[in-house]
């Protein structure tokens, strides 16, 4: 149940016309009263002799009891209460009871006191009601509406439990502002999947990802095609900014601009500046060149940075963890922006869902998140990745590592009682899981085929080594289809000069594996990242002894053990 207090207004009659008329798209059906301060209030929806003017005059009558100079300039209070799409359809009696409890919770009316405001609740759809109230009490005093939004939200949580409705998580005031009804209808009219506000929020977040200065940030906004207005102090200092879509116009044909803070709390200019103020770059000196190894290198760096960040979320200070979580949002935005077509939709949805999880009341201590922000920057400036070859395989590797980072973020939020953020992170993780399956199919398929072609003596030796190194997981791994891909990876590691048993034990012990759908898949990417093995092995051929002859550089076992050691050690 979602209660929403709208902006206060001056015209009761105008709001009643909106509620009782069919609506711009005929979406209002059978408008009628379900409750009011007076059981005998006229209902223009069900009583043909009643008029909207009569209802308006009844509601506004207390205004006549006080001097005009003392009347509130905006006396119309408006609350809408909407159920979730999957909730059952409530009866008029149930909605009437909801209305009475909502006005009591807000401070609009208190039946026990007998001197509340006048109000009426109108239902014109199955799933919601609107409550209209006049903000002058019968005795001429004004109601106490301090924290009315928080009080109706608390009442909604109680009603959800009593009525068996979907239980929503309690908010903490850090969510982005929801689009208004007018914005949603405008988007539908223009054929947009998202409102202008939402499109702008996504575009600005992508412009922030990995940015190192104001100049770079505004250059990215301009390159994305946004209209930009800057608010400058008399001293010449930049105070803020607003952005607009070129084709989002008002009735006068003018572009509709939104301040950054109205898109999301962390997109105001001061909050955006915090991201790069602790990065250590001199203003406007950070390189905008692609990462040295292109898209594949950028994705490997992303995987490594995500891997290290998981440990911080599990064991670090909360302020530092909050910075890593915010930076993880930048990485997801950058990865979605540069992803191949077959993963783009799920990665975009993951970034969109995680946006809610990137903010909380724990103030982020910036600077510690430098590696993740650099990874986001590398992704942006390395450009779009191909969906195949090393680009595609390293994309799967990066998504796999990010899945564990986002899962750790969900656990961190849950531990800190951030219910909405934890739910958003879990939703993002599900989208990452789907993106991973799309990205990993080809590279893991190639490894699977190579693993199936390994000689029987080698596979028997690897099976014995697996049982010795991971006795608790061995049988599960051997039963997974991914075992053959892991066997090929172990052969690659041995060929490169690593001790596969040591490498395997370290890879399994570094982080939890309980949330993995396939333990062998996870170990493949951990091993290939730790040993710097090629992520894509499509063109690698089997050697004479049933092992793969790759082109990667071999390392001495001692060196390999040192470089693959967990950060925990």
Three-state SS letters, 381-421: HHCCCCCCHHHHHHHHHHHHHHHHHHHHHHHHHHHCCCHHH
Interior/surface letters 19-38, b for 16+ CB within 10 angstroms, e for the rest: bbeebeeeebeebebbbbbe
Segment 237-244 long-range contacts (CB within 8 Å, at least 24 positions apart): 238/214, 238/269, 239/269, 240/268, 240/269, 241/269, 243/200, 243/203, 243/204, 244/196, 244/200
- Could you list the mean pLDDT of each consecutive 10-residue stretch along the chain, which spans 569 residues? 90 93 77 93 93 95 88 93 88 95 91 82 93 91 88 92 83 80 84 93 96 95 96 92 95 93 94 82 55 84 93 90 96 95 95 95 90 95 85 93 95 93 95 95 93 93 93 93 94 92 85 78 91 80 44 38 35
pLDDT tens-digit readout, 440-478: 999 999 999 999 999 999 999 999 999 999 999 999 999
User: What's the CA gap between 372 and 335, in Å, rounded?
Assistant: 12
Q: What's the DSSP call for residue 565? A: -
User: What's the CA gap between 556 and 499, in Å, rounded?
Assistant: 9
pLDDT tens-digit readout, 150-206: 899 999 999 999 999 888 777 677 888 888 777 888 888 888 889 999 999 999 999
User: What's the CA gap between 467 and 448, in Å, rounded?
Assistant: 20
Q: Are 405 and 306 in contact (CB under 8 A)?
A: yes
**Per-residue confidence (pLDDT) for residue 181, from 0 to 100:** 73
Burial bucket for residue 112 (CB in 10 Å: 0-12, 13-18, 19+): exposed
Closest by CA position to 375, among listed 130, 549, 560, 210: 210
Closest by CA position to 134, among listed 66, 45, 217: 66
Structure tokens, 429: 């993780």
Closest by CA position to 199, among listed 223, 174, 225: 225
Structure tokens, 426: 């879990």
Question: What is residue 238's three-state secondary structure?
Answer: strand
SS3 per-residue string spanning 274-337 = HHHHCCCCCCCCCCCCCCCCHHHHHHHHHHHHHHHHHHHHHHCCHHHHHHHHHHHHHHHHHHHH
Record the pTM. 0.76
Closest by CA position to 435, among listed 316, 330, 353, 537: 353
SS3 per-residue string spanning 497-556 = CCCHHHHHHHHHHHCCCCCCCCHHHHHHHHHHHHCCCCCCCCCCEECCCCCEECCCCCCC
Largest CA distance in the chain: 100
Type and span of the H or E element at 97: helix 92-106
User: What's the CA gap between 369 and 309, in Å, rounded?
Assistant: 8
Query: Cα–Cα–Cα angle for 536, 489, 535, nearest 5°?
Result: 20
Structure tokens, 343: 């993963």
Rounded to the nearest 5 percent, the helix, strand and coil shares of the chain are 55, 10, 35
Q: Are 357 and 424 in contact (CB under 8 A)?
A: yes
Which domains are assigned to the chain? Answer: 2-163 (3.30.930), 189-277 (no CATH), 296-563 (no CATH)
Q: Are 458 and 546 in contact (CB under 8 A)?
A: yes
User: What's the CA gap between 390 and 408, in Å, rounded?
Assistant: 27
Closest by CA position to 490, among listed 471, 510, 505: 505
Closest by CA position to 322, among listed 280, 281, 368, 282: 368
Burial bucket for residue 360 (CB in 10 Å: 0-12, 13-18, 19+): buried
User: What's the CA gap between 213 and 146, in Å, rounded?
Assistant: 40
List strands edge to edge, sheet with 227-232.
Answer: 227-232, 238-244, 258-259
Phi-psi region of 189 (alpha: psi -120 to 50; beta: other; left: phi over 0): alpha
User: What's the CA gap between 51 and 47, in Å, rounded?
Assistant: 8
**Per-residue confidence (pLDDT) for residue 311, from 0 to 100:** 87
Q: How many Cα atoms within 13 Å fall on the side-chain side of residue 196? A: 23
**Per-residue confidence (pLDDT) for residue 544, from 0 to 100:** 38
């Amino acid at each position: 149940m979602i209660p929403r207090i709208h902006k206060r207004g001056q015209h009761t009659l105008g709001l009643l016309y909106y509620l009782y008329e069919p609506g711009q798209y005929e979406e209002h059906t059978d408008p009628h009263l379900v409750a009011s301060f007076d059981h005998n209030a006229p209902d223009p929806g069900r009583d043909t002799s009643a008029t909207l003017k009569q209802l308006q005059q009844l509601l506004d009558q207390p205004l006549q009891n006080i001097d005009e100079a003392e009347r509130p300039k905006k006396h119309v209070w408006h609350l809408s209460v909407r159920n979730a799409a999957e909730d059952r359809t409530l009866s008029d009696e149930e909605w009437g009871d909801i209305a009475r409890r909502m006005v009591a919770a807000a401070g609009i009316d208190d039946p026990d006191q007998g001197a509340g405001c006048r109000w009426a609740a109108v239902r014109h759809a199955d799933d919601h009601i609107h409550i209209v109230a006049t903000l002058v009490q019968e005795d001429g005093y004004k109601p106490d509406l301090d924290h009315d939004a928080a009080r109706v939200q608390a009442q909604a949580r109680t009603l959800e439990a009593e009525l068996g409705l979907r239980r929503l998580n309690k908010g903490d005031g850090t969510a982005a502002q929801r689009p208004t009804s007018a914005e949603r209808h405008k988007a539908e009219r223009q054929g947009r999947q998202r409102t202008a506000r939402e499109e702008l929020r996504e575009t600005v977040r992508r412009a922030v990802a990995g940015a190192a200065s104001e100049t770079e940030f505004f250059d990215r906004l301009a390159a994305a095609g946004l209209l930009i207005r800057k608010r400058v102090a008399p001293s010449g200092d930049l105070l803020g900014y607003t952005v607009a879509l070129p084709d989002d116009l008002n009735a006068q044909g003018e572009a509709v601009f939104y301040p950054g803070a109205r898109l999301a709390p962390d997109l105001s200019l001061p909050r955006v500046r915090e991201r790069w103020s602790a990065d250590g770059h001199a203003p406007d000196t950070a390189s905008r060149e692609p990462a040295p190894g292109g898209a594949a290198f950028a994705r490997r760096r992303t995987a490594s940075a995500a891997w290290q960040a998981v440990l911080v979320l599990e064991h670090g200070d909360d302020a530092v963890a909050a910075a890593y979580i915010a930076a993880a949002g930048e990485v997801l935005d950058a990865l979605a922006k540069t992803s191949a077509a077959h993963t783009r939709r799920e990665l975009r949805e993951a970034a969109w869902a995680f946006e809610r999880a990137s903010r909380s009341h724990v103030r982020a201590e910036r600077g510690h998140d430098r590696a993740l922000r650099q990874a986001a920057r590398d992704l942006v400036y390395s450009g779009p990745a191909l969906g195949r070859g090393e680009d595609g395989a390293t994309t799967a590797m990066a998504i796999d590592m990010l899945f564990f980072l986002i899962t750790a973020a969900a656990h961190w939020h849950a531990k800190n009682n951030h219910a909405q953020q934890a739910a958003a992170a879990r939703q993002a993780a599900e989208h990452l899981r789907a993106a991973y399956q799309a990205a990993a199919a080809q590279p893991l398929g190639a490894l699977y085929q190579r693993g199936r072609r390994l000689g029987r003596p080698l596979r028997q030796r690897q099976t014995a080594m697996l049982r010795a190194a991971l006795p608790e997981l061995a049988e599960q791994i051997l039963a997974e289809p991914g075992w053959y891909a892991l066997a090929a990876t172990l052969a690659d590691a041995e060929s490169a000069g690593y001790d596969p048993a040591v490498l395997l034990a370290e890879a399994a012990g570094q982080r939890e594996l309980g949330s993995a759908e396939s333990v062998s898949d996870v170990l493949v990417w951990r091993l290939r990242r730790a040993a710097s093995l090629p992520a894509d092995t499509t063109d690698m051929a089997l050697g004479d002894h049933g092992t793969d002859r790759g082109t990667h550089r071999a390392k001495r076992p001692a060196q390999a053990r040192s470089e693959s050691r967990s950060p925990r050690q």
